[in-house]
Amino acid sequence: MTRKPVGAFVVTALALLSAIPVLAHHSITAEFDSSKSFSVKATITKIEWVNPHTYIYADVKDENGTVTSYSFEGGPPGALRRSGVLKTMFNVGDVVTIEAYIAKDGSKHLGLLHAVHFADGHMIFFGRPEDSEGKN
């Protein structure tokens, strides 16, 4: 007789736990505005290449010498790898120009990675291939 409540509890708990990954995922368009971009010259300070999204952290120095830390979100590591973008392409200490899309919530130091331009002239593009036409 006690098996039915325990079984119902286990089934209910499993159903609730299976919904957690769905709740954790978010739409990029819910967080970022792809019609508004910005660009900063920065020094990479940290790279996180983990699921569900990659992050590149960088320090930006303004004209007065004040340093502000930025966070740039990228796609999932697997999707980036399939498009040819690897963690080994970035190094802490690299001075780069980062193009990113703004955060909809007004976060001033957060962006969605669009492209990273290196001092030697090469660029790594994040996004759909058709968006990169004419950019090199």
Kindly state the helix (H) or strand (E) to which residue 81 belongs, with its residue range.
helix 77-82
28-46 per-position pLDDT tens digit: 677 899 899 999 999 999 9
CA dihedral 59, 29, 136, 120 (to 10 degrees): 10
Report residue 78 as tokens.
């697997």
Q: How many residues does the chain have?
A: 136
Kindly state the helix (H) or strand (E) to which residue 24 belongs, with its residue range.
helix 3-24
pLDDT of 22 reads 43
Quick one: CATH architecture of 28-132? Beta Barrel (2.40)
Residues 6+ apart with CB under 8 A from 92: 44, 45, 46, 47
pLDDT of 135 reads 43
Report residue 106 as tokens.
């007004």
Residues 6+ apart with CB under 8 A from 106: none
pLDDT, mean over the chain: 82
- Each domain of the chain, given as residue ranges in start order, spans 28-132
